[in-house]
Amino acid sequence: MKRLAIAGILTVLLLSLITGCNSSAGTSSNSDSDTIELRFFHRWPTEPKKQYFEKAVKEFEELHPNIKIKTEAVLNDSYKEKIRVVLGSKNPPDVYFSWSGEFAYNFVRADQALDLTDYINSDTEWSGEIIESQFKPFTLDGKTYGIPWSTDGKAFFYNKKIFKDLNLEPPSTWSELIEVSEKIKEAGITPITFGSKAPWTISHYIGSLNELIVPEDVIAKDYDPNNPEGDFSHPGYVTALEKFMELEPYFNKGVNSVDHQYSRELFNGGKAAMGYFQLAEIGLIEPSLGEDLGVFNTPGIEGGEGNPNSITAAPEGIMISSKTKHPEEAMEFIKFLTSKEKGTEQLKEVSEYSAVKGTTTTENASKLQEEAIDLIVNAEKTYLWFDTAVDISIVDAYLNGTQQMLDGKKTPKEVMSDVQAAAKKVKK
């Protein structure tokens, strides 16, 4: 009898356990066991973008109660290093931001990026709203690995009041830029604000000057890490560095000891006449300068063999780790961030031009912002940010060398010698 009683008790316990398991499997998507966690890594830990993404994550989670997003963010230069480390770890983020071009291709070649081509092709109602050309810098060997989130370009900003007071016009050639800078300096005003403590700002000058001076076919060959013929030997590269150094007397003092934000604040405060900024920064400067803010494209360089109607402009996008266990949910999050509704919001709230069509309008953009986006749309040729368009070893040789050049420790020829040596190693 005791044995029968024990057997009966065990049977009841077993049935209870089975019932409990079945009950758990059938619970709502809010249960802990059914909640999916995605790790999201981006490069904006400061305001206003920090709050923008926190709000976006909260909105997404409310729409998808079974998905929780864990966010981590670090600033620009730190991000470039950390993203490489975390993607190579055993527990990489599911969703991450990436610059386009060679920066993104490195993740593809390392098998750290998920092929998103089928997702793009299967939902054209969503993907068809994104500017088609912006997919190209995330496409390698016919497959697309990143979804464009923003697009941006580089141009000179100028203070119209200072120019008017000194009876100056925006320059259209490099010689005119030097002449204008000299007159501003004579008036006791800093002609061009610049900060190169974080050297990515140097790369934007280098990229723009290269594309104006060096022939397009030479740049294509030199920037391609798989083209052994590209050796950065064209004399135009030295000329580009020389042109950059022509601006040095007109920069604020101690450029290598101040960062880009400092230089922007200098311009915001009316203490500098010009600055080389990203078009997305209009929203960060226009509230201070108002109608006194103007923009002009990088002036053409006399004798240059590049395209005078080119512009440094590139999309930034979102990628998914090839190791993610939840590709469908990760893609759903990306679709949310790259929707037309969010694209319209992001320009108004964080001054980032969306890569989604029709998101820059009179309702959410100033007249100057609309004119700025036309600089990108109407350019004959667009080049990616230099520090993401070429191999990181070549970038480091360029930026470290140029910082030393600004300190008077190297010449343009010596910098290019270092660059050529780095390129030789990369392509070998």
User: Residue 328 falls within a domain, yes or no?
Assistant: yes
How far apart are alpha carbons 367 and 295 in whole angstroms? 12
> Is 18 within the bounds of a domain?
no
* The predicted structure's pLDDT at residue 33: 60
pLDDT of residue 244: 98
Tell me what percent of the residues of the chain surpass a pLDDT of 90.
82
Please count the other Cβ atoms lying within 10 Å of the Cβ belonging to residue 121.
Answer: 10
Q: What angle do CA 416, 422, 425 make, to 5 degrees?
A: 145
Half-sphere exposure of 415 (CA within 13 A, CB side): 27
* Per-residue model confidence (pLDDT) at position 361: 87
Q: Kindly state whether residues 217 and 263 are assigned to the same domain.
A: yes
Rounded to 5, what percent of the chain is helix, strand, coil? 55, 15, 30
Query: Worst-scoring range by mean pLDDT, 95-104, 210-219, 362-371, 395-404?
Result: 362-371
Query: 125-140: per-residue pLDDT in tens?
Result: 999 999 888 999 999 9
Residue 351 confidence (pLDDT): 87
Q: From 401, 399, 354, 345, select the one nearest 376 (Cα to Cα).
A: 354
In a domain, 2, yes or no: no
9, pLDDT greater than 70: no
Q: What is the pLDDT of residue 32?
A: 54
* H-run or E-run covering 147: strand 146-159
> Bigger pLDDT: 234 or 33?
234
Same domain as 409, residue 266: yes
Q: Residue 91 in 3-state DSSP?
A: coil
In angstroms, the CA 306 to CA 339 distance is 36
The CATH number given to whatever domain includes residue 116 is 3.40.190.10
92 and 49 in a common domain: yes
Nearest to residue 190, comparing CAs of 93, 271, 96, 294?
A: 271
Q: How high is the mean pLDDT of the chain?
A: 91
Strand boundaries in 182-255, DSSP class E: 190-193
Report the alpha-carbon distance of residue 334 to residue 332 in Å, rounded. 5
Chain-centre distance for alpha carbon 175: 30
CA dist 127 to 54, 135, 141, 407, Å? 24, 10, 20, 47
String of b and e for 32-58 (b: at least 16 CB within 10 Å)? Answer: eeeebebbbbbbbeeeebeebbeebbe
In this structure, the answer to whether residues 230 and 357 fall within a common structural domain is no
Q: Does 25 reside within a domain?
A: no
Considering the domain architecture, whether residues 214 and 338 belong to the same structural domain is answered as no
pLDDT tens string 398-420: 999 999 999 999 999 999 999 99
Q: Is the pLDDT of residue 19 over 50?
A: no
Q: Domain for residue 28, yes or no?
A: no
- The per-residue pLDDT for range 163-173, each reduced to its tens digit, is 999 999 999 99
Based on the domain organization, do 277 and 343 belong to the same domain?
no
Whether 198 and 259 have beta carbons less than 8 Å apart is answered as yes
180 plus 278 within the same structural domain? yes
101 assigned to some structural domain: yes
pLDDT exceeds cutoff 50 at 27: no
Does 240 reside within a domain? yes
Looking at residues 295-315, what average pLDDT do you find? 92
Residue 23 lies in a domain: no
Let me know whether 308 and 206 are in one domain. yes
DSSP conformation class of 315 = E
* 359 touches 373 (CB < 8 A): no
Kindly state the DSSP code that residue 154 receives in the 8-state scheme. E
Same domain, 75 and 203: no
Beta carbons of 350 and 279 less than 8 angstroms apart? no
pLDDT at 29: 38
CA dihedral 380, 384, 386, 387 (to 10 degrees): 170
- Amino acid (one-letter) located at 233: S
Taking the C-alpha atoms of residue 33 and residue 41, their distance in angstroms, rounded to an integer, is: 24
Q: Are residues 351 and 255 in the same domain?
A: no
Render pLDDT for 46-74 as a digit per residue (tens, 0 to 9). Answer: 999 999 999 999 999 999 999 999 999 99
Average pLDDT score over residue span 164-190: 98
272 shares its domain with 187: yes
For residue 188, what are the contacts with CB-CB under 8 A and spacing of at least 6?
none
| Mean pLDDT of the 387-392 span | 92
What percentage of the chain reaches a pLDDT higher than 70?
92
Q: Report pLDDT for 53.
A: 97
Residue 22 pLDDT > 60: no
Q: What is the pLDDT of residues 236-286, one digit of tens each?
A: 999 999 999 999 999 999 999 999 999 999 999 999 999 999 999 999 999
Total domains in the chain come to 2
Residues spanned by the domain of 99: 36-152+314-382
Q: Looking at residues 297-316, what average pLDDT do you find?
A: 92
| Residues 133 and 65 grouped into a single domain | yes
Handedness of CA 93, 97, 99, 104 (dihedral sign): positive
